[in-house]
Structure 1
Amino acid sequence: MMARMAVEETQTTTQSPPRTADPRNAAEPPTTRAWTTRLVIVGIVLAALNLRPAITSLGALLEEVRDGLGMSGSVAGVLTSVPPLCFAVFGVMAPRLARRFGPAAVVCAGMAAITAGLAIRPLMGGTPGFLAASALALMGIAVSNVLMPVIVKRWFPDRIGTMTGLYSMALALGTSLAAAITVPMTSAFGGDWQIGLGVWALLAAAAVLPWLPVARERRRTAGASAGASTGTPVGASVGAETATEASAESTSDSAAAAAAGDGLRITRSRTAWALAVFFGLQATGAYITMGWMPQIFRDAGVPASTAGVLLAVTMAMGVPLAFVIPRVAGRLRNQGPIAVALGLCGLIGYAGLFFAPAAGAWVWAVLLGVSNCSFPLALTMVGMRAGTGAGVAKLSAFAQSTGYLLSIPGPLLVGVLYQHSGGWGLPIALMSGLLVPQLVVGVLAGRDRTVEQELADRERAAAARA
């Protein structure tokens, strides 16, 4: 049903007009559905562009921010641990908020929170205020992180790989742009790091705009559907509601899918745990890279502007690969081999940072950029490891919140090890060591199964034993 309705959403006005006897078509004609679908695509791209600049722009100016706010290395490590902490704490709220207000409205609010946080954090005169404003922006990122796979699953169930690739590519583009131009832009504004960070609020403000009409359209269509279904048999009412939800980002999937999702005990799924650990380990590596890699190169004698460009190269690798990898992964029954290949690239990159950080800087930046493409792979597996929209919402919230919670100690440990050892040997050894379990759980999470199937099989097996 979901797949059929998603296809109907993209149909153009050249098709025959819908029958007015069908309340769902009366509520939302094909022209409206096609227009809204295109707007959702624009919204997904703009939202994705804003999911990392708050972090990578800070990484590029971390030394200047530390000096400006009087931070020690350990406090800076805490600062680089704030993103996964916020993602873990606030991401778990996303499914409940989506059920109450609708995914589009929550993403719209998330973009507004990013705008506010990025605008006010450079104005804070001390570390606590800077952290609080950063947390506001990261809260918006957290709920949007969780709901992007849900939106893709509901609006494009037959094109999960393609749309996840588009979203991941835009995310990587935003990440790399922030890393590449933050330092030059700061220099253009007279070296004021506050302007260099605050200017990213403008991009976030632009991302609010497409979600406003989508959220309003959802509410309008939901109300029209409710009115049209008055006096209809119960079965027809549920069918009309399901169609409207699929085409206009309503608060839940169809009644059956929502019931299945509500009863899904996700914590009993081995696949869900493997995906959560994989997500956490790749997030650890990604945030260590975004937060500390420029400093590694700068300590090796690389100029600050070049170090920012190197980080941009690392992030830019995700632009083409974030589009290609989900498409390839979506066509495979088992995504484990992709997880292994990406992990091996990371191991080689970290070895290069250990032995020759400056001499082979460009090579290591490329390899670590390839390794960081474990993120779009994880997003693709979230969409493929659950069979319903409600299941994807639960799995996405669990995998991302648990994963980001697991990733919190990583950047902090790097900061502590760096400060107390006086070099990058121990931190790089930690980064390399974390890739080994990432390879293992990546293979487990990549197996061809859904959490619904897995839990149903376990229940049948338990009933048979009883």
Structure 2
Amino acid sequence: MTSQPEHGHRTGRGLDVLALACLILIACSLRPAASSLGPVLSEVQGAYSLADWQTGLLTALPGLIFAICGFIAVPVLKKVGLFGSLVMTCVLITVGVGARALVDSWVSFAGLTVIALAGMSIGNVILPVYVKTRFPDRANLGATAFTVSLGLGAMFPAFLTAPITGHFDNWRVGLGIWALVPACALITWIILKLARSVPDLDRPEQDTHEAAPPRRHIFTSAKARYMAMFFGLQSVNAYVQFGWLPQIYRDAGLDPVLAGLMLTVVTLGGIPGGFLAPQIIMRSILPRFFLVSFSISAVGGYLGLLLIPTTAPVLWAILLAYGGFAFPAALALITGRTQDVSITARTSAFVQSSGYVLAAIGPLAVGGLLGMSGGWSVPLGFMVGVAALMGVTGYLAAAPGTVDEELTSTGTRGGTAGTRGGTAGQK
């Protein structure tokens, strides 16, 4: 039995399961282009004879592209709708990840990586809107599935890329195989559309008794600014780890497969983190305490890598993994600290795009510090400072209240009510 809720899509047990599977597949597609590169970074560097700055640029591309393209995600959502936006996401990732494994030019490899990351960037911003509209009565389920799947999408490429590369004796196979994930996501998304179970964000809400959210810029909310800083600092941690952690371990003396396994341990934290962090935020279970604890753990992991990297390499990876719980917590803050879908969309775009500006700078800074200092002491000291600041901004971002309330208290009401404002009220 199916029903037709306010956003015009059909629901029912079977359709809900399909919608959840689609969410999982798309979310799993939003990390492999980044997390699969670290385990074979040396091979890619050798194949293209890359200088240190070029390698640093590759590791910085995720944050850089996420920052730039995140700003266009909401206009894209307005222009082509939810279905078209996520089709674009899946197509760009599939083409970028698949084709970059076939080219012989460094410029082409970097360009196709940009294409894949652009698709990932749009998906990063749009999926929280999909979660809020497709699972309005099961927000915890949607948020948990989203964050756990992002963790899986980071973990499996980090774990399997090096073994696949070794098995086929070809790093191109190790990278290109991850194009299958977004291809499967695209097929599932089209099936969901044919089943008329994709929310229509242009459909007016039936319940219009509440005033529309204000149209003031999200930047006027202090909470949104702290969320953006927290998101950015945790992203610096994540993308430095994706791009450089295997190399840090390899330079310390670990073999390539074991070094890749350490990154797998770190990304493995995305699974329990994806389950637990949304509950901490959505249910307000000491959120400030936990966000600060993530920071302290990351500081400990970096200090271990700095002082005694090979003495207990798994321990340092575990500490960094717990620090990585900050990522699903940051995503949960977007949905947990907003109410109206329009505010969710605008906050998602602002927090992620602004935050990824920091994420773009981080890997570049690490590469530059590595080149200038000739060792990992200075870059790791830099990352200790980043992890500490993450705790400060997390404490501020997790304060009680919502972005909607801050905007309402400082702005004026206007516009039309409902989710139509969620896609159109981005001025």
Q: What is the TM-score of this pair, normalised by structure 1? A: 0.83
Report the equivalent of 1:273.
225
Bigger CA drift: 207-216 or 38-47?
Answer: 207-216
Q: Contact between 1:335 and 1:446, CA under 8 Å: does it hold in 2? A: yes
Once the two structures are TM-superposed, the CA of residue 27 in structure 1 deviates from its matched residue by: 11
CA distance in 2, matches of 1:383, 1:138: 23
Unpaired runs of 5+ in structure 2? 413-427
Q: 1:210 aligns with which of 176, 180, 188?
A: 188
CA distance in 2, matches of 1:328, 1:417: 36
Contact 2:7 2:133 in 1 (8 A): no
Question: Paired residue for 2:262?
Answer: 310
Displacement after TM superposition at 1:54 (Å): 0.9
Q: Does 1:374 align with 2:326?
A: yes
1:104 is aligned to 83
Identity rate, percent: 34
1:69–1:260 CA distance, 2 compared to 1 (3 A) = farther
- Within 5 Å, give how 1:225-264 maps onto structure 2: 248-252=198-202, 254=204, 260=212, 263-264=215-216
Question: 2-side partners of 1:100 and 1:356: how far apart?
Answer: 52
The answer to whether the 8 A contact 2:37-2:243 is kept is yes
The one of 418, 424, 430 equivalent to 2:382 is 430
Give how far 1:385 is off. 1.5
Tell me the alpha carbon deviations over residues 112-164 of structure 1, each in whole angstroms, 9 at most, x when there is no partner: 11000011112222221111100110011001111111111112233323321
Larger Rg over CA atoms = 1
CA contact (8 A) 1:162 1:327 kept: no
- Measure, in 2, the Cα distance between the counterparts of 1:26 and 1:304: 52
Distance 1:430 1:162 in 2: 37
Contact 2:8 2:203 survives alignment (8 Å)? no
Q: Are 1:172 and 1:322, in contact at CA under 8 Å, matched by a contact in 2?
A: yes
Instruction: Give the alignment partner of residue 285 of structure 1, picking from 226, 237, 246.
Output: 237
Q: Could you say which structure has the greater relative contact order, defined with CA pairs below 8 angstroms and 6 or more residues apart? A: 2
1:171 to 131, 144, 150: 150
2: CA distance, partners of 1:90 / 1:430: 27
Contact 1:121 1:130 in 2 (8 A): yes
1:121 lines up with 2:100 in the alignment: yes
Aligned-partner Cα distance in 2 for 1:25–1:158:
11
Query: Aligned residue for 1:130?
Result: 109
Deviates more, 1:135-144 or 1:254-263: 254-263
Native 8 Å contact 1:345 1:367 kept in 2? yes
Give the aligned residue type for 1:370: Y
Match status 1:71 vs 2:23: no
Alpha-carbon distance change, 333 to 307 in structure 1, aligned in 2, over 3 angstroms? closer
1:439 aligns with 2:383: no
| Structure 2 letter corresponding to 1:197 | L
Instruction: Indicate conservation of the 8 Å contact 1:113/1:140, yes or no.
Output: yes
TM-score normalized by structure 2? Answer: 0.91
Correspondence for 1:201 among 179, 197, 219: 179
Superposition deviation, residue 343 in structure 1: 0.5
Q: Is the 8 A contact 1:98 1:251 kept in 2?
A: no
CA apart distance, 1:254: 4.0
Question: What amino acid sits opposite 2:182 in the alignment?
Answer: A
1:279, 1:420 → 2: CA distance? 28
- Checking the alignment, whether the CA contact within 8 Å between 2:7 and 2:201 is kept in structure 1 is no
Aligned residues: 410
Structure 2 CA distance for aligned equivalents of residues 319 and 215 of structure 1: 28
For the pair 1:43 / 2:43, whether they are aligned, the reply is: no
Does 2:4 match 1:52?
no
For 2:321 and 2:355, how far apart are their aligned partners in 1? 20
Between the aligned partners of 2:6 and 2:396, the Cα distance in structure 1 is 46
| Greater fraction helix | 1
In structure 2, C-alpha distance between the alignment counterparts of 1:86 and 1:435, rounded to whole Å = 22
Q: Which amino acid aligns with 1:42?
A: A
| Displacement after TM superposition at 1:335 (Å) | 2.2
Q: CA deviation at 1:259?
A: 8.5
Q: From 296, 299, 308, give the equivalent of 1:347.
A: 299
Aligned partners of 1:427, 1:195: CA distance in 2, in Å? 31
Q: 1:199 to 1:395 in 2, by over 3 A?
A: same
Verify the 8 A CA contact 1:333 1:447 in the aligned structure 2: no
Partner of 2:162: 183
**Alignment-mate amino acid for residue 355 of structure 1:** L
Shift of 1:77: 0.6
In the alignment, the residues of structure 1 paired with residue 203 and residue 61 of structure 2 have an alpha-carbon distance, to the nearest angstrom, of 32
Asked if structure 2 preserves the Cα contact closer than 8 Å seen for 1:252 and 1:390, the reply is: no
Whole-Å separation in 1 of the counterparts to 2:36 and 2:357:
22
Match of 2:342 in 1: 390
Q: Distance in 2 between matches of 1:297 and 1:363?
A: 13
Q: Is the 8 A contact 1:329 1:380 kept in 2?
A: yes
Q: Could you tell me whether the CA contact under 8 Å between 1:121 and 1:133 is conserved in 2?
A: yes
What SS class does the counterpart of residue 15 from structure 2 fall into? helix
- Matched residue SS, 1:199: helix
Q: CA deviation at 1:372?
A: 1.1
Amino acid at match of 2:212: A
